[in-house]
């Protein structure tokens, strides 16, 4: 990978894609990514954020991420990194985008919650999206559906349960318990119009910048807005000010806390299929809450 991401090679890619003054002076690896290799690419005039992966392992991943970033920028007041271009070379895909600089002194969690609530008012006639994308490193279906229950079952839970069952990550009994859960879903989730959601909203996918809160690495769809809120609680929760800002701007129906685990069956299934281990026990415990 180092040979593919050295200054000379990246200069060539930048200049081939219209950045004539894109002579790269420094390339710094950026930590935090588990799927893609990430770099800060410095030229004499500017800095870029670069993601690299094997194009055959994750077909169309960067293309779908680019579309997701554009949707977030169009329908929200968040700072969203601007996609620049995607290049392919020697079996690798390169995704160049705007580099965002974190500013800890500009943290405003209340504003973050308000802006997420405002983004969730962007709607669509159906649940879904006009293209598929990824959740982590796993393909995510977005076939249109008229109801959240249909969309959540068909596009989110069923594919991941089938994958977990087929690879032996969960036993047949756990898979059968999902059949019982599907029957309960109409009574669990409040009916709401589709909302544009980030789709993978955990603490690693936002930051505060001088221009305000920023979001990135999306797994977007028009879905139930509580899916985003539930995801924020999966790994310890966000700041109380974040929830205060959100609920003041766009309250949810009563009983949300009792629904959190129902929504989070999906990201936990993703973790079961990627990592196994203790996530299997967590999945079974979450299911017990509804059966």
Tokens of 186: 């109409």
**Contacts with 36 (C-beta within 8 Å, 6 or more apart), sequence order:** 51, 52, 53, 95
- How far apart (Å, rounded) are the C-alpha atoms in residues 138 and 273? 9
Task: Identify the active-site residue in 166, 171, 179, 200.
Answer: 200
* CA 1 to chain CA centroid, nearest Å: 25
Beta bridge partners of 253: none
Cα(223)–Cα(155) distance, rounded to whole angstroms? 11
Question: What are the structure tokens assigned to 61, written together?
Answer: 């991943």
Let me know if 200 is a catalytic residue: yes
Give the number of other CB atoms < 10 A from CB of residue 196.
25
Residue with the two structure tokens 């690798």: 92
Both tokens of residue 224? 């139930």
Cβ neighbors of 263 (< 8 A, separation 6 or more) are 224, 226, 227, 230, 231
Burial category of 21 from C-beta neighbours within 10 Å (exposed 0-12, middle 13-18, buried 19 and up): exposed
Percent composition of the chain: helix, strand, coil (DSSP 3-state, to 5):
45, 20, 35
Catalytic site residues? 200
């Amino acid at each position: 990978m180092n040979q593919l991401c050295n200054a000379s090679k990246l200069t060539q890619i930048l200049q081939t894609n219209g950045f004539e003054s894109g002579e790269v002076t420094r390339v710094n690896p950026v930590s935090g990514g588990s799927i893609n290799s990430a770099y800060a690419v410095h030229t004499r005039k500017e800095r870029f954020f670069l993601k690299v992966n094997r194009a055959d392992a994750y077909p169309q991943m960067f293309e779908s991420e680019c579309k997701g970033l554009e949707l977030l920028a169009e329908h929200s007041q968040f700072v969203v990194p601007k996609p620049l271009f995607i290049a392919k070379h020697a079996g690798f895909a390169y995704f160049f985008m705007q580099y965002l600089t974190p500013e800890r002194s500009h943290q405003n969690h209340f504003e973050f919650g308000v802006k997420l609530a405002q983004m969730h008012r962007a709607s669509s006639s159906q649940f879904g999206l006009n293209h598929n994308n990824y959740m982590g490193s796993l393909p995510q279906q977005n076939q249109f559906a008229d109801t959240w229950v249909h969309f959540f079952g068909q596009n989110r839970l069923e594919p991941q349960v089938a994958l977990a069952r087929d690879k032996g990550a969960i036993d047949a009994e756990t898979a059968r318990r999902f059949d019982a859960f599907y029957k309960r879903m109409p009574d669990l989730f409040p009916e709401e119009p589709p909302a544009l959601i980030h789709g993978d909203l955990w603490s690693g996918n936002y930051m505060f910048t001088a221009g305000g809160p920023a979001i990135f690495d999306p797994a977007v769809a028009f879905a139930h807005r509580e899916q985003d809120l539930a995801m924020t609680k999966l790994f310890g929760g966000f700041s109380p000010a974040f929830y205060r800002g959100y609920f003041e701007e766009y309250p949810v129906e009563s009983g949300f806390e009792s629904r959190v685990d129902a929504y989070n069956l999906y990201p936990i299934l993703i973790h079961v299929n990627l990592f196994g281990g203790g996530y299997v026990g967590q999945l079974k415990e979450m299911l017990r809450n509804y059966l």
